[in-house]
Amino acid sequence: MATRRAATQHATPGYTFATNTLSNPPVLKNLSSTPGTVEVTIRAAPARIALLPGKPADVYAYNGSVPGPTLEAREGDLVTIHFYNDLPEPSTIHCHGIHLPAEMDGSPFELVPPGGHRDYSFRIQRGTAGTYWYHPHPGTRTEYQVAKGLFGALIVRATDDPIATIPERLLILSDNRFRADGSLDFPDSNSTQAMIDEENGREGNVLFVNGQIMPTINIRSGEVQRWRVINASAARIYRLAIPGQTLLHVGDDGGLFEHPVAVNDILVASSERVELLVRGTGQPGSQTTLQTLPYDRYAPQTRPSDWNTAHSLLALRYGDAAPMAPVAVPAALRTIPVLDTTKATATHVIVLTQGMINGHAMDMDRVEVHASIGTTEIWQLENVVDMDHPFHLHGFQFQVLDRNGVPEPYRSWKDVVNVPRHETVRFAVRYADFPGKWMFHCHILAHEDQGMMAVLEVR
């Protein structure tokens, strides 16, 4: 089983001959029988769950599972989440990347107190099919609540998905840090580790896919699989690769590209999502691994000693079946409208330093960026410090224009973009609807919690 549930013991995940040990979190039960309506209940509560096999730990869980259950919806659906906060602290549900009314965003403006209840209701917009996720966004405790186990997938499907017939896998990547008894290891606030965590964000030495350690996916020679990858880690940036083969990158945060792009490896920053097509290029009976390759996102003084080491995430195992006829992948996936930057009414320069945005720490009463409904604007993100900052804008998907002056080679919808150290990234965004106050912040959760966050007000 993928998902760790209370009072359930699990066999140690097998690396060698176990078949398809990767399984999915449960899917949230739709309480509505009305077509076009998805109504679910999500309860956040303390739980006792073995995140490490056989070692129960005190965690927080959505509906008793880590990762939380997956919310499945279709474009056009009216989604209602009945959220119950049974945690001993305020929390929210932020549907990361979903275009919805500001008051439904689960931002720190709308905290749900301990014992409180809140309904989030929004309609999924057409053209937004893609891979999203949900997590708490309570202000200064996001890293803690996510580390304790609060994160889950949110998948939006299109009726005209051009690769709907390709078998699909969900891969929720997370990491965590444990004591020897399997309990979660949070450093003392005055320790050196706490200072390193404030700088790097919390990185754990145990890597999970759907809550499992080194699970196995079966693939047949010649087969193509669609992998929806979510980086739910608090800080870790993955550089995904399967040694010796290319991957087809077909989608970003906000869904499919116009055309597949072949890559040798792909960077997935904290909270980013990618859709990949993985072709079974191995021989029957062989095995390979999905790895995360070294990537240096760190300031020199806190760079971890093992940063230059590749880590295996899961095994990809070829059964004994004869190769199947190669599966054709469509060359055209969909059309993505261009945001017309010749009509951009403003360029906002956003300077990222260590823990601050434009020289300010988060102030709920301050508006950093003012914008008007119906306009298109350019944001210029300038990282002037020695480490990467993955930047997230709430509510509105954007199109990356260029990175350090190099035009983005393809068009896609994104809600997070990694801004590498001392680099500049520009994106275009259109505020079509939904006035209100929106967060933007670094998605290294420790940075966000420290105040590397600001407010966009759209009127």
Q: Which is nearer to Cu ion, 102 or 196 (CB)?
A: 196
State the nearest-atom distance from the C-beta of 444 to Cu ion, in Å.
4
Is residue 272 within 8 Å of 390, Cβ to Cβ? yes
Number of residues that bind Cu ion (CB under 5 A): 4
Enumerate residues 388-447 that contact Cu ion by CB under 5 A.
389, 442, 444, 447
Here's the x/- map for Cu ion, 346-385, by CB under 5 A: it reads as ----------------------------------------
Nearest alpha carbon to residue 122 among 137, 134, 136, 108? 134
Q: Which is nearer to Cu ion, 67 or 420 (CB)?
A: 420
Containing H/E element for 152?
Answer: strand 152-157
Q: Which is nearer to Cu ion, 414 or 447 (CB)?
A: 447
Three-state SS at 109: helix
> Which token pair is 171?
């891969």
Q: Which is nearer to Cu ion, 49 or 453 (CB)?
A: 453
For residue 310, give every residue at least 6 positions away whose Cβ sits within 8 Å of its Cβ, in sequence order, or none: 291, 292, 293, 294
**Sheet architecture: strand order including 65-66:** 4-5, 65-66, 55-62, 37-52, 78-85, 117-123
> Which token pair is 381?
């993100």
Alpha-helical segments (H) within 268-372: none
Q: Which is nearer to Cu ion, 99 or 447 (CB)?
A: 447
State the nearest-atom distance from the C-beta of 354 to Cu ion, in Å.
8
Q: What distances in angstroms separate CA 129 from CA 36, 126, 132, 277, 404, one per listed residue?
A: 15, 7, 9, 17, 29
Q: Which is nearer to Cu ion, 111 or 453 (CB)?
A: 453
Q: Which is nearer to Cu ion, 124 or 456 (CB)?
A: 456
Number of helices and strands in the chain (H, E): 3, 31
Here's the x/- map for Cu ion, 106-125, by CB under 5 A: it reads as --------------------
Q: Is the peptide bond prior to 108 cis by the omega test (within 30 degrees of 0)? A: no
Residue 150: half-sphere exposure toward Cβ, Cα within 13 Å:
27
Residues that bind Cu ion (CB under 5 A): 389, 442, 444, 447
